[in-house]
Amino acid sequence: MQDTLRITEVFYSLQGETRTAGLPTVFVRLTGCPLRCQYCDSAYAFSGGTLRTLDDILEQVAGFRPRYVCVTGGEPLAQPNVLPLLQRLCDAGYEVSLETSGALDIARVDTRVSRVVDLKTPGSEESHRNRYENIELLTRNDQVKFVICSREDYDWAVSKLIQYNLAERAGEVLFSPSHHQVNATDLADWIVADNLPVRFQLQLHKLLWNDEPGR
Ligand SMILES: C[S@@+](CC[C@H](N)C(=O)[O-])C[C@H]1O[C@@H](n2cnc3c(N)ncnc32)[C@H](O)[C@@H]1O
Ligand SMILES: Nc1nc2[nH]cc(C(=O)O)c2c(=O)[nH]1
Ligand code: SF4
Ligand SMILES: [Mg+2]
């Protein structure tokens, strides 16, 4: 029996987020998540999916001839076989990123992978799941993300930025508005007013394709 993963979808699109935003990227979305962020735009990946072998997934990815591959979910680290998948994607020569809630241990992820760790804000209603031990594992190849639902979330994110010196520790600190929950212009203005060393971002794929799955 070969190693398998439960997969919701594999698709080719433009990366909508993070430091590679705008670049053509293959997405591998793993099924299942132990969290329930109130804003989650990927709840369709909580269940269902198809059990697939790593060979099968790698073959489909290769068919797109990509440079960038993003492993997301659901919560990818909830399936242990994501670790050999990430390793094999790196071995195949792709630039690989992993989107994770940060609720699970990131230590064993291949160091070639850019780990995008979402520090869950109080507004997500899942901030009690943050695994703060992950922060000391971050390198300049990694990214930290805050999805901000309110001014209170913004103030909380700024306090974590300072407390953990995140702008020095990670390669990027990303501040993203929770879709339709906080005014994006307000968030941009707060960042400029406070002269923060963070990168503001909008989810490009929602501007381009609204909220269609598989884009
Ligand atoms: C769907 S999650 C999958 C990976 C992992 N479970 C996580 O939360 O990072 C991918 C990213 O989308 C973000 N996201 C989900 N719903 C969102 C929304 N409504 N507005 C902005 N970002 C959102 C998450 O916070 C996370 O950074
Ligand atoms: N285009 C596009 N970019 C993305 N970046 C992160 C995504 C995700 O759902 O994790 C995502 C997604 O679903 N679509
Ligand atoms: S951790 Fe990620 S996939 Fe899970 S509910 Fe939160 S945003 Fe959605
Ligand atoms: Mg998404």
What's the chain's average pLDDT?
97
Side-chain-facing half-sphere of 215: CA atoms under 13 Å: 11
Between the CA of 182 and the centroid of ligand 2 the distance, in Å, is 19
Q: Which of 9, 17, 33 to mutate to test the pocket of ligand 3 (most atoms within 8 A of CB)?
A: 33
Work out which ligand 3 atom sits closest to the CA atom of 103. 1
With contact defined as beta carbons under 8 Å apart, do 138 and 170 qualify? yes
99 touches ligand 2 (CB under 6 Å):
yes
| Of the candidates 50, 15, 12, the residue with the CA atom closest to the CA atom of residue 31 | 50
Inform me whether the pLDDT recorded for 2 exceeds 80.
no
Mutate to test the pocket of ligand 3, among 6, 31, 40 (most ligand atoms within 8 A of CB): 40
Mean pLDDT computed over 96-110: 98
Report CA(110)–ligand 4 centroid distance (Å).
23
Our answer on whether the CB atom of 205 is closer than 6 Å to any ligand 2 atom is yes
Question: Over pLDDT 70: what percentage of the chain?
Answer: 100
For residue 99, how far is its CA from the centre of ligand 4 (angstroms)?
A: 10
**Any long-range contacts for 198-202 (C-beta under 8 Å, 24+ apart)?**
198/161, 198/167, 198/173, 198/174, 199/19, 199/172, 199/173, 199/174, 199/175, 200/175, 200/176, 201/17, 201/18, 201/21, 201/174, 201/175, 201/176, 202/176, 202/177
Q: How far apart are the CA of 77 and the centre of ligand 3, in A? A: 12
Tens-digit pLDDT profile for residues 145-204: 999 999 999 999 999 999 999 999 999 999 999 999 999 999 999 999 999 999 999 999
- Whole-angstrom distance, CA of residue 145 vs CA of residue 133: 16
The pLDDT, as a whole number, for residue 211 is: 85
Atom of ligand 1 nearest to the CA of 120: 25
CA distances to 41, 143, 189, 211 from 179, in Å: 9, 20, 17, 10
Confidence band of 1 (pLDDT split at 50, 70, 90): low
Residue nearest to atom 8 of ligand 2 (CA): 72
